[in-house]
Structure 1
């Protein structure tokens, strides 16, 4: 055969690729390749260590006797495929958890054969999802989960709680509610903050919770030093667990708020001047630490404190994790059984809580089990409000001033007048200097009070802001409900 009769290498590769793979694009324009009949998809431009599409294409061509092709031919073929895929339908890719058809959700077991768990209010089963329903994306952070055990009668939940050192039954039911929330792709869940004395097993407890969802390879990590690295780590996995936090900067606090409730980042595409790419995510987050200092109010509404106690009997790491590994299939099966029961019941959504979806999940859990998760969640938020107030001198001063108002009484002044009033109240007769971070202008005071509004409202003090023909004003109203510290004094 003459050279003119030979099919160009790029055409051989392109024909083979389209015969064995399905190509599609996501909403951000990234083109993915998915082997036909298999739910795992890879970006065609990926060079990741978990395997790239270029590598699987080269291996397929070689094993099927099509030959070994040089890099130029592969590049030209992939360029053509990418251009053709841009006209295909848009389909999302998911990490670990994904919504399915008919109200179902899927859990990726991370297996090579693509087997996953389909969770539905009528039950759960193991199957390979239809590629048109679910496309999985995997990274180095995607560990393999064991095949869950069916019909465990709740034994796995008991095993997990026995291995962890949770201090109270309320803490245990909140941990269960969080694990259920991790199986819901559309539900923002608050971030558990495992606290307790030194030696309480906070890191071990955190690993056990994470590995129920991420497998035995899931682990805790140190908080990255900058937001860009944190975003990269979060986007590459499902559950992000940060260990041994001792201080939380305002930037890190804001970043964690965005991770819990969702955010989209826009960055300049490499090697371009004007092109950008979008990265959007919302992920479950877990934190451990003895104390992180002052907690900002907006983050407090997104936290779930889980308190641990020191174990009475110490065990070796090898014994503990061997028992955990043996119990994990039963633990996962029990969690899936409970998820089915919870999704089968209806419950009203509490309208007074910031994380309303998680509050409804707690209400559904209560309807299915009578554990009292919603009551425990409200109590945990009340404890966090106390932490915020104890760490904020301005909030303490506002509450002290509110004590001088009659129940239902209101007081209106400009922000500058409020600043002078609260500053005089803090100084008192001692004429002490104002603390570091105290508002220096009326505008700064207004901004601080906006952030403190939910915390103060939980203590019976409403802050309202508006404008009249005379100018802007701040109004403080003490509700008819008694303040918590007054209730304590009454007993």
Structure 2
């Protein structure tokens, strides 16, 4: 055969790749490769040391006797494949959980054979999903889960609660609600904050909750020092767990709010061009610590405090984790059984809570089991409001002033007049010095009140803003007290 009749190496590679792999692009423009009949997809541009599509393609070419090719040929072939894939249909990729057809959701077990759990209100099954229904994206943070046990009769839930040190039954209900929420790909869940005295097993309980979803390789991490590193860690996994927090800086607090409810990060792709890389993220977040100091109101609405107590009997780490690993298939099976039962149950959606989807999930759990999860969630938010008020002298001063107002009467002043009024109330007759961070202008006061608005409303003080011909004003109203017989009928 003459040289002219031989196919160039790049054409041989391209023909093989298109015969054995499916190529598609995501909404962000990233091109992925998916082996025929297999749900795991890998970005073709990945240069990772393990599991990259480049390596997958090289191994396939060698094992099938096609040949061994140099890097130039592979690059030219992949460049052509990427260009061709940009005109194909768009399909999203998912980490750990994904929506499916007919109202089902999927849980990736992280197995090489692609077996996953299909969760539907009628039941759950272990199946290999259709590659066009689910495309799994895996990273080094994607651990392997054991095959969940069937017919557990709820024993796994009892095993989990026996291994942890949650202080109350209400706390246990909220922990279970969070785990069920983690199995939903599109519903934001508040971040559990595991707290308690030293030696209460906060880190151990946090690891257990994480490993039910992420496998035995899942672990807690120290909070990164900058936003970019935290976003990178969040985008590469499903559950992000930060251990031993002692302080929440304003920037970290704001970023946690974005992680819980979802946001997008954009950065430049290369220094040599003007293209950008988009990274969307909304992930379950878990925190542990004894005390993080002052909690900002917007983060407080997205937290789920879970208090632990010191165990009466200590056990070795080796004994504890050996028992947990052996029980994990049963725990996971029981959690899936409970999830199916909850999703098949209808319940009213509470309309007065910010995390309405999670509140609805709590209501479904109560309707399915009678646990009392929604009242426990309301109580936890009430405790967090107390924490916010205790750490904010301005909030305390506003509540002190509101106590002097007639219920239902609107009081309007400009922001500067309110600043003068509240400053005088705080200083008192003894003219005590103002604390650090006290508002210095009407604009700063107005901004602080906007952050405190939900917290103050939970204590019966309504803040609103408006404008007249004379200028802008801030309105404060003390809500009338609700009679006890009406409180019992409130949602």
TM-score of the pair, normalised by structure 1: 0.98
Greater Cα offset, 151-160 or 44-53 = 44-53
| Deviation for aligned residue 1:266 | 1.3
Residue in structure 1 matched with residue 235 of structure 2 by the alignment: 235
Residue in structure 2 matched with residue 396 of structure 1 by the alignment: 396
CA distance in 2, matches of 1:294, 1:48: 41
Q: Report the secondary structure of 2:429's partner residue.
A: helix
Residue-by-residue CA offset, 1:193-230 (whole Å, 9 max, x unaligned)? 00000000000000000000000000000000000000
Residue in structure 2 matched with residue 359 of structure 1 by the alignment: 359
CA distance in 1, matches of 2:318, 2:179: 25
Residue in structure 1 matched with residue 38 of structure 2 by the alignment: 38
Q: Report the secondary structure of 2:353's partner residue.
A: coil
Are 1:427 and 2:399 counterparts?
no
Residue in structure 2 matched with residue 378 of structure 1 by the alignment: 378
Listed as ranges, the matches of 1:32-71 within 5 Å are: 32-71=32-71
Residue-by-residue CA offset, 1:26-84 (whole Å, 9 max, x unaligned)? 00000000000000000000012331101110110011111110011000000000000
| Deviation for aligned residue 1:272 | 3.7
CA distance in 1, matches of 2:383, 2:285: 20
Residue in structure 2 matched with residue 439 of structure 1 by the alignment: 439
Q: Report the secondary structure of 2:326's partner residue.
A: helix
Cα RMSD, aligned residues only? 1.2
Residue in structure 1 matched with residue 129 of structure 2 by the alignment: 129
Residue in structure 1 matched with residue 249 of structure 2 by the alignment: 249
Q: Report the secondary structure of 2:126's partner residue.
A: strand
CA distance in 1, matches of 2:276, 2:319: 50
| Deviation for aligned residue 1:273 | 2.8
| Deviation for aligned residue 1:408 | 1.2
CA distance in 1, matches of 2:207, 2:430: 50
Are 1:106 and 2:71 counterparts?
no
Residue in structure 1 matched with residue 208 of structure 2 by the alignment: 208
Residue in structure 2 matched with residue 85 of structure 1 by the alignment: 85
Residue in structure 2 matched with residue 286 of structure 1 by the alignment: 286
Residue in structure 1 matched with residue 176 of structure 2 by the alignment: 176
Q: Report the secondary structure of 2:428's partner residue.
A: helix
Per the alignment, do residues 319 and 483 of structure 1 end up closer, same or farther by CA in structure 2, a change over 3 Å counting? farther
| Deviation for aligned residue 1:482 | 6.5
Residue-by-residue CA offset, 1:292-333 (whole Å, 9 max, x unaligned)? 000000000000000000000000000000000010000000
Q: Give the gaps of 5 or more residues in structure 1.
A: none
Q: Report the secondary structure of 1:429's partner residue.
A: coil
Native 8 Å contact 1:460 1:483 kept in 2: no
Q: Give the gaps of 5 or more residues in structure 2.
A: none
Residue in structure 1 matched with residue 22 of structure 2 by the alignment: 22
Listed as ranges, the matches of 1:232-381 within 5 Å are: 232-381=232-381
Q: Report the secondary structure of 2:381's partner residue.
A: helix
TM-score of the pair, normalised by structure 2: 0.98
How many residue pairs end up in the alignment? 485
CA distance in 2, matches of 1:18, 1:280: 29
Per the alignment, do residues 467 and 404 of structure 1 end up closer, same or farther by CA in structure 2, a change over 3 Å counting? same
Residue in structure 1 matched with residue 164 of structure 2 by the alignment: 164
| Deviation for aligned residue 1:483 | 12
Q: Report the secondary structure of 2:322's partner residue.
A: helix
Residue-by-residue CA offset, 1:137-179 (whole Å, 9 max, x unaligned)? 0000000000000111111001000100000000000000000
CA distance in 2, matches of 1:47, 1:483: 66
Greater Cα offset, 125-134 or 42-51 = 42-51
